[in-house]
């Protein structure tokens, strides 16, 4: 009886670990949020940041990453977040499969990572998915550092 319980427990644990990845594959990656529609490179955004005085918001993400997809479908679609970013920041979108060289130059250890950069200096960063309110509060606080 104990043997069957362990098999069921092990199977449930494996399903719990694999299910988000399988769902992500079935659903496909989330669309790139509209705030990144300019498709600026780090270099282009850096020049624009220098000219405007606005910090860069750099999102480092991966299509295979469930928390990345949740962030793109959640906080980054919120109207308060998108409006504040449009008004106050220069957004840059770095996807692991297409921007790996640029990502390797940044202190990124996990996905998603959000960095706030100004004048070539990282003002701060945070990882993972979060609510729109929390995301907005974090980027506001980090972008006010100088």
Question: 116 has which bridge partners?
Answer: 57, 124
State what percent of residues in the chain have pLDDT above 70. 87
Residue 10 within a domain: no
pLDDT averaged over every residue in the chain: 90
pTM: 0.81
Q: How many domains does the chain have?
A: 1
Residue 20 within a domain: no
User: What CATH number should be reported for the domain holding residue 70?
Assistant: 3.40.30.10
* Domain range enclosing 35: 30-143
The rounded distance, in Å, linking the Cα atoms of 39 and 31 is: 13
């Amino acid at each position: 009886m104990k043997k069957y319980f362990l098999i069921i427990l092990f199977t449930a644990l494996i399903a719990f670990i694999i299910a988000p990845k399988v769902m992500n594959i079935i659903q496909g990656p989330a669309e790139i949020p509209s705030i990144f529609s300019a498709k600026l490179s780090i270099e282009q955004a850096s020049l624009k940041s220098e000219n405007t005085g606005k910090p860069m918001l750099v999102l480092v993400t991966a299509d295979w990453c469930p928390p990345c997809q949740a962030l793109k479908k959640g906080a980054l679609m919120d109207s308060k977040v998108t409006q504040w970013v449009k008004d106050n920041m220069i957004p840059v979108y770095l996807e692991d499969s297409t921007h790996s060289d640029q990502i390797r130059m940044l202190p990124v250890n996990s996905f998603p990572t959000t960095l706030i950069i100004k004048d070539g200096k990282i003002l701060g960063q945070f990882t993972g998915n979060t609510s729109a309110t929390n995301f907005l509060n974090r980027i506001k606080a980090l972008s006010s550092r100088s």
